[in-house]
Amino acid sequence: MWFIPIRISSIEIQIHARRQMVFQSLTAFGTKTPGSETSSRVLSQVEGRLLVEFETSVPLLFGKRKVFRTVEWVTPHEPEMVEFEEAEGPFAIRRERLILEEEGKSTRLKYEAEFGMRGWILGWLLGILFIRPKLSHAVREHMTVLKETIEAQAQRSSSVS
């Protein structure tokens, strides 16, 4: 089926935690993040890649939310990057990268992604006009929760040391 790839503008956040801790938190599949409506579980592991099932709550119109189930190949490149590629889900294609750059005692987390909708030109229009803004909003929400959770974990970790 034909589709035209759609890029999502990169999103960056500064997390006040060491890069190794951020990486470990991002790849802790099978655990529920407090305050997040996302869950995951590892289905299998093949040659350094993980097949992971995700359930993610995404905002819709009028304050409503929908939970989407996806199965994704996850390739961790410790500690600088995590790549995701959708194997099952609503998109014809979806690829995401989380890039971690160490900045002193902090980490700059950068999100890059592209996706494609089935239906060629009509799918592309739907993706550009409706899906991309919703997806960008959901990613920003998720990254805010990640930042808060990881920084709280780093704070607890440093108070124990």
69 contact partners, CB below 8 Å, separation of at least 6: 53, 54, 55, 88, 89
- Answer for the pair 6, 132: CB distance below 8 angstroms, yes or no: yes
Partnered with residue 44 across adjacent β-strands are 51
| Predicted pLDDT of residue 99 | 98
pTM, two decimal places = 0.90
From first to last of its 161 residues, the chain has per-residue pLDDT tens of 688 999 999 999 999 999 999 999 999 998 765 556 678 999 999 999 999 999 987 777 788 888 889 999 999 999 999 999 999 999 999 999 999 999 999 999 999 999 999 998 999 999 999 999 989 988 999 899 999 999 999 999 877 65
- Answer for the pair 53, 43: CB distance below 8 angstroms, yes or no: yes
| Predicted pLDDT of residue 60 | 73
- Answer for the pair 49, 64: CB distance below 8 angstroms, yes or no: no
| Predicted pLDDT of residue 34 | 57
How do the domains of the chain map onto residue ranges?
6-15+36-156
| Predicted pLDDT of residue 9 | 96
| Predicted pLDDT of residue 47 | 93
Domain 6-15+36-156: top CATH class: alpha beta
